[in-house]
A and B are shown apart, each in its own frame.
Chain A
Amino acid sequence: MNARLSYALRRLILTAPVLIATSIFVFLLIRLVPGDPVRSMLGIRATPENIATVRSELGLDRPLPQQYWDWIWGVLHGNLGQDFISHEKITSLLKVSLPVTLELTVLAMLLAVGVGVPVGVLVAARTGWARKVSGGFVIGAISIPDFWLGLMLVLVFTGLLNVLPPSGWVPFTQNPVQNLRYMILPVVTLATGQTAYILRTTRAAMLGTLSEPYISFLRAKGLRERSIVYVHALRNASGPIVTVTGIQFGVLLGGAIVIENLFALPGVGRLIVTAISERNYVVVQAGVLTIACLFIVVNLLTDIVHGLLDPRVEEAVSS
């Protein structure tokens, strides 16, 4: 357990430079806008006084290192600044939008893992039509753009069958059933491509593991096939599955930006895209920082889980 703890700690420390680099990039986001970001934020009707006020509010009149320090100090104390259009605190905007994004992505990932892993395990041991069907599903699901799949699902489930709402959202706390009804199409849309990746990885990893000598040994020992496949082989094949799931979570966070806009879900992705079109850079900055941090946390968790499942990872790191 000690070795595992130190592996987790070391992995945690390795996250620090990534966090710092991310924060610098996000910090520079406003400053890299060509021309005068404040002028393009406020539009042509802005008076020079307005511009000067906003500039000092953002701290753009101070030296760059000082600006970064002030900004990161604020972020670490939960102060992400103010929305220029609604004058709301950005933290309160995120308090509404982050849970939406989390609900969408976590449900999509659960669905993708819940379908992809068992089906991948099942088809790994099979040849013939099962492999062909799963292969066809994989290449199809990877090739169909998720937002178009979403549109087609709306066409079928709203246009033809009229059983699900096309878009919209209510808070889970207000009406759980309605909230889930709104979530079904976005979650299925987002999960389909991920299911394909996870299925493909599971199948490949299981194929590799099932051909190892120790599996033949377990068979010779007379273990039941089910216990060989689900207990022994799956655990050994879990490394790539966990890694790909982690990587795909990043893709999912990106995909959520598009899907939230398609289904009018008030998540962080929608916040970012709306803010870009309004040149509301402070909100863009906060949204990008949120998703990037989420991604870093997911990566960290993925590595730690990978290490727990497969002790060889710890050894590779410590040696």
Chain B
Amino acid sequence: MTAHPVAEVGKAARAPRRRLRTRLGGREGLAGWTIVFILIAVAILAPILAPHSPEAIDGNRILAAPTATHPFGSDDLGRDVLSRVLYAYRVSLGIAVGSVLLAMAVGLPIGVFAGYVGGWTDLILMRLIDLLLSFPALLLAISLIAILGPGSLVALLAIAIIYVPIMARVVRSSVLVVRGQAYVRGARARGASHLSIVRGHVLPNAIGPALVQASVLMAFAIVIEAALSFLGLGSQPPTPELGLMLADGNNYLTQAPWVEIFPGLGIAISVLAFNLIGDGLRRSFDPNGITR
């Protein structure tokens, strides 16, 4: 019987790694990760992969249909749509990742603090968060842009700001659950400092739902950013950006549909990938699929 506790310890040490694999896994989740990694590679390698310069204007190819050298056709200035889509992923993914990281950097500490400390601090912080959430997200983003003026960085900031309360809320509710667990009470009884309890016990156990949320928010960030640019409130021309390309091509929709079809597909694929990851992660946290 003396071997038993030892075996338990060994199991506990291996468990997180196995959990991580299942968490990433699921057919859906893996498909999502694969697409995301390909898209990140595309964004980084855009200068090598793109057959033409994204800003090269060609008077002979205005709204030209797809050909072997220009598989996605050309836009109203004769620019190669494929090259522009490849470059546009830099902006889309950059803003999506940047805004979610920024929101996590701000929202995570707020959520952990509110959930862990509890009491009045929690009440006041959560009422403030509720106030922010009582504003439609896109409207809040647009209002911030109305104040600061349009641009890619402003869009990133605006998206991050609408994500902070969402992040803080999700983290807080999982911290609330973790805080009451026996191992946290045990650590406190052992005399561990609050900081080490938060770092060693609370954060690792409460981070899961925040990661699910992060991948879903990443998907939304791509859509919001594209929508803002489509309205002329995000990235400005001549930046190759998916929403902006859709806005440009809108006037030639029936004449040159390829200018609209491919950038839109580009958005949809990236959004789908992050949604698949989110769904896969969620499923691994909730195997019964009740919350789906």
B209 sits at the interface (CB 8 A): no
Asked if B253 and A254 make an inter-chain contact with CB atoms under 8 angstroms apart, the answer reads no
Secondary structure dominating the interface of A: helix
Q: How close is A72's CB to chain B, nearest CB, in angstroms?
A: 17
- Which of A42-50, A81-89, A136-144 is the interface stretch? A136-144
B117 sits at the interface (CB 8 A): no
Q: Given A17-B131, A276-B145, is A207 in contact with B289 using a C-beta cutoff of 8 Å? A: yes
Q: Given A250-B137, A254-B136, A292-B135, is A147 in contact with B292 using a C-beta cutoff of 8 Å? A: no
Report A109-146 CB contacts with B as 1/0, cut-off 8 Å.
00000000000000000000000000000011011110
Asked if A151 and B139 make an inter-chain contact with CB atoms under 8 angstroms apart, the answer reads no
B182 sits at the interface (CB 8 A): no
Q: In the complex the two chains form, what is the Cα distance from A245 to B102 in whole Å?
A: 29
Q: Given A29-B143, A253-B139, A292-B136, is A147 in contact with B227 using a C-beta cutoff of 8 Å? A: yes
**Among candidates A208, A255, A296, residue contacting B134 with C-beta atoms closer than 8 Å:** A296
Asked if B147 and A151 make an inter-chain contact with CB atoms under 8 angstroms apart, the answer reads no
Q: How close is B22's CB to chain A, nearest CB, in angstroms?
A: 20
Asked if B254 and A159 make an inter-chain contact with CB atoms under 8 angstroms apart, the answer reads yes
Contacts of A155 in B (CB 8 A): 253-254, 257, 260-261
Q: In the complex the two chains form, what is the Cα distance from A32 to B253 in whole Å?
A: 38
Could you show 18 A-B contacts with beta carbons less than 8 Å apart? A18-B131, A26-B143, A142-B271, A143-B219, A143-B275, A144-B268, A145-B226, A152-B261, A154-B253, A158-B254, A159-B253, A204-B290, A251-B137, A254-B139, A257-B138, A291-B139, A292-B135, A292-B139
Task: Enumerate B95-113 residues with CB–CB distance to A below 8 Å.
Answer: none
Task: Enumerate B234-291 residues with CB–CB distance to A below 8 Å.
Answer: 246, 250, 253-254, 257, 260-261, 264, 267-268, 271-272, 275-276, 279, 289-291
Q: In the complex the two chains form, what is the Cα distance from A257 to B230 in whole Å?
A: 11
Task: Enumerate B134-182 residues with CB–CB distance to A below 8 Å.
Answer: 134-139, 142-143, 145-148
Contacts of B147 in A (CB 8 A): 29, 32-34
A308 sits at the interface (CB 8 A): no
Asked if B223 and A145 make an inter-chain contact with CB atoms under 8 angstroms apart, the answer reads yes
Q: In the complex the two chains form, what is the Cα distance from A45 to B135 in whole Å?
A: 36
B233 sits at the interface (CB 8 A): yes
Q: How close is B199's CB to chain A, nearest CB, in angstroms?
A: 33
Least CB separation from A270: chain B residue: B231
Contacts of B227 in A (CB 8 A): 145, 147, 258
Q: Given A139-B279, A143-B219, A144-B268, is A272 in contact with B142 using a C-beta cutoff of 8 Å? A: yes
B94 sits at the interface (CB 8 A): no
Asked if A147 and B138 make an inter-chain contact with CB atoms under 8 angstroms apart, the answer reads no
Q: How close is A292's CB to chain B, nearest CB, in angstroms?
A: 6
> Number of contacting residues on A, CB 8 A?
51
Contacts of A175 in B (CB 8 A): none
Contacts of B271 in A (CB 8 A): 142-145
Contacts of A255 in B (CB 8 A): 138
**Among candidates B138, B254, B275, residue contacting A139 with C-beta atoms closer than 8 Å:** B275
Q: In the complex the two chains form, what is the Cα distance from A250 to B134 in whole Å?
A: 9
Asked if A143 and B136 make an inter-chain contact with CB atoms under 8 angstroms apart, the answer reads no
Asked if A145 and B231 make an inter-chain contact with CB atoms under 8 angstroms apart, the answer reads no
Q: In the complex the two chains form, what is the Cα distance from A189 to B230 in whole Å?
A: 16
Report A153-184 CB contacts with B as 1/0, cut-off 8 Å.
01100110000001000000000000000000
A7 sits at the interface (CB 8 A): no
**Among candidates A253, A262, A273, residue contacting B136 with C-beta atoms closer than 8 Å:** A253
Asked if A147 and B246 make an inter-chain contact with CB atoms under 8 angstroms apart, the answer reads yes
